[in-house]
């Protein structure tokens, strides 16, 4: 069971973005001792895991003795948040291209096109 949990945790962390970037911090603890190296590759063999480090060294250890924590310095994916224009000048369309009026405040929950941009009303 530990192996499945360990494997799932690393697959989600490592494969979700495909690559860890410079903003990613990593803490590697083996048998209670923190290792000051960055893991670049993991290989599983039975109950053992081989950690390949970015300095081209490697270490094989029992999986139950290895812990890797990832933290990200910066939030990514959200850029240029702007408020909705409530001046009544913006034409609103639904996803079928139907004109819905100019008052975004009167809309039901859903996805609309306002000023040529997809907008979600919650």
At 30, which CATH number? Answer: 2.30.30
The answer as to whether 87 is a domain residue is: no
Residues 104 and 59 placed together within one structural domain of the fold: no
Residues 61 and 98 placed together within one structural domain of the fold: no
Residues 6 and 36 placed together within one structural domain of the fold: yes
Residues 13 and 65 placed together within one structural domain of the fold: yes
The answer as to whether 85 is a domain residue is: no
Confidence of residue 19 (pLDDT cuts 50, 70, 90): very low
Q: Are 104 and 90 in contact (CB under 8 A)?
A: yes
Helix (H) or strand (E) segment spanning residue 71 = strand 66-72
For residue 101, CA distances in Å to 31, 79, 111, 113, 116 come to: 64, 28, 14, 11, 14
Measured in Å, how far apart are the chain's first and last C-alpha atoms? 40
**DSSP state at residue 54:** T
The answer as to whether 84 is a domain residue is: no
Q: Is the pTM of this model over 0.85?
A: no
Looking at residue 114, its pLDDT comes to 85
Residues 16 and 64 placed together within one structural domain of the fold: yes
| pLDDT tens column, 52-76 | 988 999 999 998 898 888 776 666 6
Residues 18 and 61 placed together within one structural domain of the fold: yes
Domain that includes residue 46, residue range? 2-72
On average, the pLDDT of the chain sits at 76
C-alpha–C-alpha distance, residues 101 and 104, integer Å: 8
Total number of domains in the chain: 2
């Amino acid at each position: 069971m530990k192996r499945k949990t360990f494997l799932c945790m690393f697959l989600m962390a490592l494969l979700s973005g495909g690559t860890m970037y410079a903003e990613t911090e990593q803490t590697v603890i083996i048998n209670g001792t923190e290792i000051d190296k960055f893991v670049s590759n993991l290989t599983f063999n039975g109950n053992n895991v081989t950690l390949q480090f970015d300095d081209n060294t490697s270490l094989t250890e029992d999986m139950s003795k290895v812990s890797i924590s990832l933290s990200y310095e910066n939030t990514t994916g959200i850029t240029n948040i702007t408020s909705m224009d409530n001046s009544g000048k913006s034409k609103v369309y639904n996803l079928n291209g139907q004109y819905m009026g100019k008052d975004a405040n009167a809309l039901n929950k859903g996805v609309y096109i306002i000023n040529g941009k997809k907008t979600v009303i919650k």
